[in-house]
Structure 1
Amino acid sequence: MASPDRTRSEGRTPVDLLPVLQSSGVLSERMFEEISSRVDSGEYPADPNGLAERLVRDRLLTAYQARRLLANKAYGMLVGRYVILDRIGAGSMGRVYKAHHQMMDRVVALKIIAPELSCNDRVVARFQREMKLVGRLDHPNVVRAYDADRANRVLYIVMEYVNGESLGDRLKRSGPIPAAEMIDYAAQAALGLAHAHEQGMVHRDVKPSNILLSEDKKVKILDLGLGVLMEADEGATFATADGIAVGTVDYMSPEQALGRDVDGRSDVFSLGCAMYHLMTGKLAFPGESPIDRLGRRINNRHVPITDHLPDFPAAAQRVLDKLMAFKPQDRFQDASEAAEALQSLIRPRSRKPAPALAPAPSPPPVAPRPPEPAEEAAVARPPAPSPATRPPAYPRWFAPLAAAAVSRPNILLTIGLAAFALTFAAGAVVGYLLK
């Protein structure tokens, strides 16, 4: 529970909290009448800040709700049938909130798509098509979607609430993830992607912030079906709340960066880039600017992981390098194949305890041992259909920048393009309804 000071409307003119609370729709009419009665009787303080603190203490409001109501921001606290409880974070296409379905008494994650996307008819049509595909996804390594609709002129999608954090947040909080642990997480993520690919979906934006880790160490892929919305908005500037979508550039495949058709193998490449970053804290394709990093990726110059982790096992390096192979045909040809390769790095540890992926002395030659039935079942899959192929989900302005990164005739052009991209994108920062 937040401290009382965090619920106060600092520096603002006090508002009459009761009318704002009533208009917000956060509480039922019966509960509102009970609170009003307690204020009238003196049981609850009439002072707005004091009343807000008491309602938070009695768990009738969250600290986030109290702050918004004290700021006289009742609008947007109710989206469809969902009451906003707290803000979780912001992404490239919208903001994510913890919300509560009143009738079903279920806590969910609610993603509200940016208003400028939500008012675009092409985006709305694409959103409706993609949500039909998302509704078919059913896998333990994919965040489950419960609902999708349009309210208050914005699109939203309702997902299961995962009590945990993204791997991107984990990296920021505690630094690089140990290799053995990360390989397990990547294998789970690959299984989730394989399921999506089997349903005809390409994620197109696999990155640490879109890989969630629950408290019980279950990995879940987030934001499936949303990567194509930018494609539908021809005027999009590939912007985020911070300006240019730098993070996405750091994980996209070469073919995606060049504006070519992408399939599931593009997601495989992005997973490898995310895995590399999460294990080392460094980007596989470093550079001073987004354009420079993009150029390194297109020109096939990634830093060997052993430059950062000298003891990284050779077998694991071969798998990682194949995930990030420059040509799609040189990568794992589908995510299920990638998952099997990653799981093969974990299996020996399940038979004999050993330091995490530590190199071991070469054993004497022995006859090949068939895989154990339980382990084989964990990765055995029917042959996957050809990955769905789709055009890249980036607006038209992005292709010239990618082309410039390929040629890079001189450093001045690169710097100029980077400055232009950052300036242009910063001018299109998403203005969201809820803050």
Structure 2
Amino acid sequence: MGIFMAPSKTDFLRRLQKSGLLELDDALAAAVVALSAEQADAAGLAKELVQRKQLTRFQAAAIYQNKTRHLMLGNYVLLNRIGEGGMGQVFRARHQRMGRIVALKLIPAEKMRSETARQRFQRESRAAAKLDHPNIVRAFDAGIEQDISFLVMEFVEGQDLETLLRHQGRLSPEQAVNYITQAAQGLKYAHAQGVIHRDIKPANMLVTQDGALKILDMGLARFEKTDGDSHLTQAGEIMGTIDYIAPEQIDNRVDSRVDMYSLGCTLFRLVTGSVPYQEESVMKKLLAHRDAAAPLISQYRDDVPRQLVKICERMMAKRPDERFQTMEQLIVALETIRSDESEVVELGETLPADDLQSFLHNMTVEIAVDSKQTSNNIAVESLRDSHTASSQTLNRVRQAKAENWWYYLLGVVCVVLLVLMVLGVLMFVNGTSPKPGAEEKAEAGLGTPDK
């Protein structure tokens, strides 16, 4: 690795001009003019522009490191990198003219050289374009610029469930049921459109600050019963994530029920904090998914409703025909579980920024270079519809509980009335047919009344 040379202030200004950002933002241009005379070096100028929110930290680092080529991509200005997808990186971006904030999934040219990769990207774009549901991340556009293929998605501040589990630990049964129900609603819609996700897992479920869940990353999605699609999976290649993969998916025998199995593994993970099978090697995990009995949630904790344990067990059945056959069946089963009140996870605050000087030198700003950065914000713009869908589901649960309470009360009233009727009959019989000497015994027992 070569030695990094800090740029001079003149170099920084030249790179900023080259990036094209000045032409798009008059406020940025004015700030540069005002600050360039005040700041002695490039680092100071970059720091001040970031503090005034004229540049993002990512943009400042890209200019500082002379990596400005992809700060603008087509109609979009890249603001910061927010994570990795199945085939590329995901960036928060802004439309140049409309000002709309979106998420851009970028796939570099080196990953698109094969015909299989190009067809997979086209498949992902088609699948995403078909889906418009509150519990699924929407796609707006797709294209190719500067040898980079990109997919434009809606954006939201949120946290994926994998990150949430890492920070918080396992969830309460109520939280897990809430999130799995929302995911099932989204998958129900996708399956109705003939789209199978094939990679359901906590990392592909984004939770907003309001508790709405969105399924993201259709990178492995496929159309159900589409001829000519099987060649996109090479011999020996397995599509999916090992800890959540359905047994039949190992042999590339895929229908909508693979999503049911993966969602069951996800439910298990949310409630227990552990993946179902913890074997050390990939092969042993695959064999466990295929052959080993599914572990029970009750083996990990004893405060989970027995019905939820059975639901998870059925979702993770080895044979597809032994699982819930549709997401609607699963939703109905989940809604029968009593829940006193919705529990919404409070998401953690963003950690404080590192020192900007170190950031400018060390931040990775290459586009399409492998990164281990975890996604904290992926795609969603409108939250109200998602939250409404969740509220409607919870209201149905509460309504079912209220109806059950009335049935219970009615039963108690009926029992009381029956007892009173029996007592009345007995009293009537005793009153009309007294036994000999009964009155004398009663009077003797009562004693002499007070005068």
For the criterion TM > 0.5, the same-fold answer is: yes
The Cα of 1:221 is off from its aligned counterpart by 0.5
The Cα of 1:178 is off from its aligned counterpart by 1.0
1:385-428 residue CA offsets vs partner (Å, 9 max, x unmatched):
xxxxxxxxxxxxxxxxxxxxxxxxxxxxxxxxxxxxxxxxxxxx
Aligned partner (choices 258, 261, 265) of residue 253 of structure 2: 261
Q: Aligned partner of 2:200: which letter?
A: V
The Cα of 1:124 is off from its aligned counterpart by 2.1
Alignment of 1:279-428 (within 5 A): 279-346=271-338
Q: Aligned partner of 1:197: which letter?
A: H
Taking the aligned partners of 1:60 and 1:316, their CA distance within structure 2 comes to 50
Taking the aligned partners of 1:174 and 1:190, their CA distance within structure 2 comes to 23
Q: Identify the residue that residue 423 of structure 1 maps to in structure 2.
A: none
The Cα of 1:233 is off from its aligned counterpart by 6.8
Q: Identify the residue that residue 204 of structure 1 maps to in structure 2.
A: 198
Q: Aligned partner of 1:153: which letter?
A: D
Alpha-carbon distance change, 235 to 324 in structure 1, aligned in 2, over 3 angstroms: closer
8 Å CA contact retained: 1:187, 1:340: no
The Cα of 1:28 is off from its aligned counterpart by 2.5
Alpha-carbon distance change, 273 to 56 in structure 1, aligned in 2, over 3 angstroms: same
Q: Identify the residue that residue 22 of structure 1 maps to in structure 2.
A: 17
Taking the aligned partners of 1:124 and 1:347, their CA distance within structure 2 comes to 46
Alignment of 1:99-110 (within 5 A): 99-110=93-104
Alpha-carbon distance change, 264 to 30 in structure 1, aligned in 2, over 3 angstroms: closer
Structure 1 stretch displaced more, 189-198 or 104-113: 104-113
1:88-139 residue CA offsets vs partner (Å, 9 max, x unmatched):
1123321111111121111111111254332323332343244233212111
Taking the aligned partners of 1:23 and 1:291, their CA distance within structure 2 comes to 50
- The yes-or-no answer on 1:37 pairing with 2:33 is yes
Alpha-carbon distance change, 51 to 348 in structure 1, aligned in 2, over 3 angstroms: closer
- The yes-or-no answer on 1:13 pairing with 2:13 is no
8 Å CA contact retained: 1:183, 1:346: no
Q: Aligned partner of 1:250: which letter?
A: D
Q: Identify the residue that residue 43 of structure 2 maps to in structure 1.
A: 49
Q: Identify the residue that residue 232 of structure 1 maps to in structure 2.
A: 232
8 Å CA contact retained: 1:184, 1:343: no
Taking the aligned partners of 1:223 and 1:135, their CA distance within structure 2 comes to 13
The Cα of 1:36 is off from its aligned counterpart by 4.8
Taking the aligned partners of 1:283 and 1:150, their CA distance within structure 2 comes to 38
1:170-208 residue CA offsets vs partner (Å, 9 max, x unmatched):
001111111111111000000001111111100000010
Taking the aligned partners of 1:219 and 1:110, their CA distance within structure 2 comes to 20
1:219-268 residue CA offsets vs partner (Å, 9 max, x unmatched):
11001254459973749977xxxxxx9x81000100012x2321111001
Q: Is the partner of 1:135 in helix, strand or coil?
A: helix
1:314-369 residue CA offsets vs partner (Å, 9 max, x unmatched):
11111111111111101111122212222222567668999xx9xxxxx97977xx
Q: Is the partner of 2:159 in helix, strand or coil?
A: strand
Q: Identify the residue that residue 75 of structure 1 maps to in structure 2.
A: 69
Structure 1 unaligned segments of length 5 or more: list them: 1-9, 239-244, 358-362, 368-435
Q: Identify the residue that residue 383 of structure 1 maps to in structure 2.
A: none
Q: Identify the residue that residue 146 of structure 1 maps to in structure 2.
A: 140
Aligned alpha-carbon RMSD (Å): 3.1
Q: Is the partner of 2:54 in helix, strand or coil?
A: coil
Q: Is the partner of 1:76 in helix, strand or coil?
A: coil
The alignment's TM-score, normalised by the length of structure 1, stands at: 0.71
Taking the aligned partners of 2:195 and 2:271, their CA distance within structure 1 comes to 27
Taking the aligned partners of 1:235 and 1:66, their CA distance within structure 2 comes to 45
The Cα of 1:301 is off from its aligned counterpart by 2.5
Taking the aligned partners of 1:231 and 1:179, their CA distance within structure 2 comes to 41
8 Å CA contact retained: 1:201, 1:225: no
Q: Aligned partner of 1:203: which letter?
A: H
- The yes-or-no answer on 1:170 pairing with 2:164 is yes
- The yes-or-no answer on 1:60 pairing with 2:54 is yes
Taking the aligned partners of 2:15 and 2:99, their CA distance within structure 1 comes to 23
Identity %: 36
Q: Identify the residue that residue 105 of structure 2 maps to in structure 1.
A: 111
The Cα of 1:67 is off from its aligned counterpart by 1.5
Alpha-carbon distance change, 233 to 300 in structure 1, aligned in 2, over 3 angstroms: closer
1:143-188 residue CA offsets vs partner (Å, 9 max, x unmatched):
1111111222122111111211001110011111111111110000
8 Å CA contact retained: 1:194, 1:335: yes
8 Å CA contact retained: 2:271, 2:297: no
Q: Aligned partner of 1:38: which letter?
A: A
Taking the aligned partners of 1:36 and 1:311, their CA distance within structure 2 comes to 60
Q: Which of 1 and 2 has higher RCO (CA within 8 Å, sep 6+)?
A: 2
Alpha-carbon distance change, 351 to 157 in structure 1, aligned in 2, over 3 angstroms: closer
Q: Is the partner of 1:194 in helix, strand or coil?
A: helix
Taking the aligned partners of 1:365 and 1:291, their CA distance within structure 2 comes to 55
Taking the aligned partners of 2:200 and 2:123, their CA distance within structure 1 comes to 20
Q: Identify the residue that residue 250 of structure 1 maps to in structure 2.
A: 243
Taking the aligned partners of 1:57 and 1:126, their CA distance within structure 2 comes to 41
The Cα of 1:27 is off from its aligned counterpart by 3.8
Q: Identify the residue that residue 370 of structure 2 maps to in structure 1.
A: none
Q: Identify the residue that residue 90 of structure 1 maps to in structure 2.
A: 84
Alpha-carbon distance change, 30 to 107 in structure 1, aligned in 2, over 3 angstroms: closer
Taking the aligned partners of 1:39 and 1:348, their CA distance within structure 2 comes to 57
Taking the aligned partners of 2:236 and 2:58, their CA distance within structure 1 comes to 31
Report the count of equivalent residues. 343
Q: Is the partner of 1:288 in helix, strand or coil?
A: coil
